Amino acid sequence: MNIPFNQLPGYNELFLDYISDFNSVKRFFEYDFKSHEDFLKCIELTSESYRNGRKFLRKDLTSILSLQNQSFGSGQKAIDNIAALNDSSTFAVVTGQQLGILSGPLYTVIKALNTIQLSEKLKSQFPDNNFVPVFWMEADDHDFLEINNISVVTKENELKKLTYFERGIEEEKYLKPAGSLQFDGEIDKLVNELSECLGKTDFSAALFEAIAESYKTGNTMKKSFGQFLNFVLGDKGIVLVDPSDPALKNLLKPVFKKALESSASLAEKVISTTVDLESSHIAQVKPKPINLFYIHEGNRHLIEPREGGSYALKNSRQRFSREELLEKLETSTDNFSWNVITRPVCQDYLLPTVAYIGGPSEISYFAQLREAYKVFDMNMPVVYPRTSVTILDSRTKSFMEKNSIQFTEMFDERELMRSIVKKSSDKNPEEMFSKMKDELNAIFYTYDKELSLIDTNQSSAFSKRCSQFVESLDVAREKFITAQAKQNEVITGQLSKVLLNVYPGNMPQERLLNITMFYNKYGSNLIEILLSEISIDTFMHQTIDPSPRRE
């Protein structure tokens, strides 16, 4: 089942235009993601710029990535793909995400699968080239409260949010890069609680063995994320990138230097584009005067300009002269970090990127960055929309079909409840019993008139009996309503369970629920089904049933 995005809530107008009316937003992007010719142009330009514009060789990059992926337990296909990046005819299909616990929301895994699918598609279209799926692990991000939790639907059909805090205590402010966080014993409590929530299946042992191996005391957030994502995906060849690695950051020194020296020009370019964009759409991000962070004493601070050409670190008392900050860039490059404006540039400077797979919000902020790339003498890659998916099991599908529920009706719970109760009720008790009263009163009235002509005493008794019959109908009506309500309770209860899985917490399933609840139910076969069922060329919301097929 495929549903147009404009029939679903929560999608911004720029994304909807990007999908269905690209020409209206074409000026904000370098390439049309649906155009074969534009992909070819991007491949040719990326090959040329990567060959001529880098201060390092591909082998520097691949040497670092090999060590990283070995530490994440990546399979042989991933190691082979890293080696393939040494070849000038090999390009990267990239996506990325913050380091959510146990991979975070479902769409993180979907994005990773999309890189595999698009790599295979491009290989078939451009057989003289090779394409490698890459996942950029956003390890420097410090928005800990966005990634320290997961949500699942429990075996009791309740939405449960599980949260991790060091020592079980929430801090007032989080500035430390999340990737460097080391788990303490509190992570065991989260894992145990998750096990209780999901219950045991044929796949639980393998799943929780992998979780225990990945998310254990002493492991960093980035190591745990990489190991667990590799377990979930299996050896599909995806290359993980930890950009917080000092060795990789050292390769990014020219980008950091340019971002500092051309900060005014960079901000001006983004602001100019943003003004143009806001004439028709809402801008996703606001550029900063300097679009870099600096990690000082373990915390990540935005670099801000001060009078006299000096710099300050936001939320700290630290100050640098221009000369001091440039010296830090030479001697402590790993302390520098990107923001939302410079992250894509860093990513595509390191990698021979031909496509970035992004969600609606990412596509929106890429629309602000075309001219920003040019400050660094680079071009934006093809920005390819990630697939949007809801997993519908056979029981949910059966309920929807039985009750004639359309997927687009699932996002207004109150109206759907009212509609389904109405559908399930063949009779309206008020109308039905009111009609019966009217008919009964009419009959008694007719006979009462005839009896009163013969015996007025008998007529009086007859009228009393009539009143008793009418009153008995009120009792029957109440019993009918009670029975009907019980029937409706069953149906509305079933509907509540369905809504909890499809639109939990009034959010799309893929944006809230964690992969573990689906893996616990379907095992590793889930990934194979998603890879085979997801259509990367269908730019609509897709529903997929991973239930075992019956012969």
- Tell me: the pLDDT tens digits for 87-138? 999 999 999 999 999 999 999 999 999 999 999 999 999 999 999 999 999 9
Decide: 364 and 29 in contact? Cβ < 8 Å: no
Distance CA 93, CA 357 (A): 8
From residue 420, alpha-carbon distances to 417, 429, 487 in Å are 5, 17, 12
Report the predicted TM-score, pTM, of the whole model to 2 decimal places. Answer: 0.88
351: left (phi over 0), alpha (psi -120 to 50) or beta: beta
List, for residues 237-268, the tens digit of each pLDDT value.
Answer: 999 999 999 999 999 999 999 999 999 999 99
Distance CA 377, CA 497 (A): 53
**Which tokens go with 166?**
């060091």
Measuring CA to CA, which residue among 114, 111, 64 is closest to residue 85?
A: 64
**Which tokens go with 21?**
């009316």
**Eight-class DSSP state of 317:** -
Q: What is the pLDDT along the chain (551 residues), one digit of tens a residue?
A: 899 999 999 899 999 999 999 999 999 999 999 999 999 999 999 988 877 767 678 899 999 999 999 999 999 999 999 999 999 999 999 999 999 999 999 999 999 999 999 999 999 999 999 999 999 999 999 899 999 999 999 999 999 999 999 999 999 889 999 999 999 999 999 999 999 999 999 999 999 999 999 999 999 999 999 999 999 999 999 999 999 999 999 999 999 999 999 999 999 999 999 999 999 999 999 999 999 999 999 999 999 999 888 999 999 999 999 999 999 999 999 999 999 999 999 999 999 999 999 999 999 999 999 999 999 999 999 999 999 999 998 888 888 888 888 899 888 877 887 777 766 665 566 666 677 767 777 777 676 666 666 666 666 676 777 777 777 767 766 666 555 545 666 677 888 888 899 999 889 999 999 999 999 999 999 999 999 999 999 999 999 999 876 54
CATH class of this structure's domain 2-256+332-388: alpha beta
Q: Where are the alpha helices (DSSP H) in 299-366?
A: 322-331, 343-350, 360-366
Query: Which residues are CB-contacts of 241 (< 8 A; sequence separation ≥ 6)?
Result: 65, 68, 96, 134, 135, 136, 137, 248, 350, 351
Query: Which residues are CB-contacts of 430 (< 8 A; sequence separation ≥ 6)?
Result: 477
Phi and psi at 453, nearest 5°, equal -75, -20
- Residue 449, SS3? helix
Decide: 300 and 337 in contact? Cβ < 8 Å: yes
From residue 73, alpha-carbon distances to 19, 233, 240 in Å are 37, 12, 10
Decide: 211 and 221 in contact? Cβ < 8 Å: no
- Residue 347, SS3? helix
Kindly report the number of other CB atoms within 10 A of residue 297's CB atom.
10
Distance CA 353, CA 381 (A): 6
List, for residues 165-204, the tens digit of each pLDDT value.
Answer: 999 999 988 999 999 999 999 999 999 999 999 999 999 9
> Crossing angle of helices 221-233/204-214, nearest 10°?
150
**Which tokens go with 269?**
């370019």
Enumerate the β-bridge partners of residue 336: 294
**Which tokens go with 367?**
């629309």
Kindly report the number of other CB atoms within 10 A of residue 428's CB atom.
12
Q: Average per-residue pLDDT in the chain?
A: 90
CA angle 438, 441, 446 (to 5 degrees): 125
CA angle 137, 138, 140 (to 5 degrees): 130
Enumerate the β-bridge partners of residue 389: 542
Domain ranges in the chain are 2-256+332-388, 395-507
From residue 335, alpha-carbon distances to 9, 223, 297, 327 in Å are 40, 19, 10, 12
How far from the centroid of its chain's Cα atoms is residue 32's Cα? 23
Distance, first Cα to last Cα, the chain: 21
Which pLDDT does position 455 carry in this prediction?
Answer: 62
Decide: 354 and 507 in contact? Cβ < 8 Å: no
- Residue 159, SS3? strand
Query: Which residues are CB-contacts of 359 (< 8 A; sequence separation ≥ 6)?
Result: 107, 111, 385, 386
Distance CA 499, CA 410 (A): 7
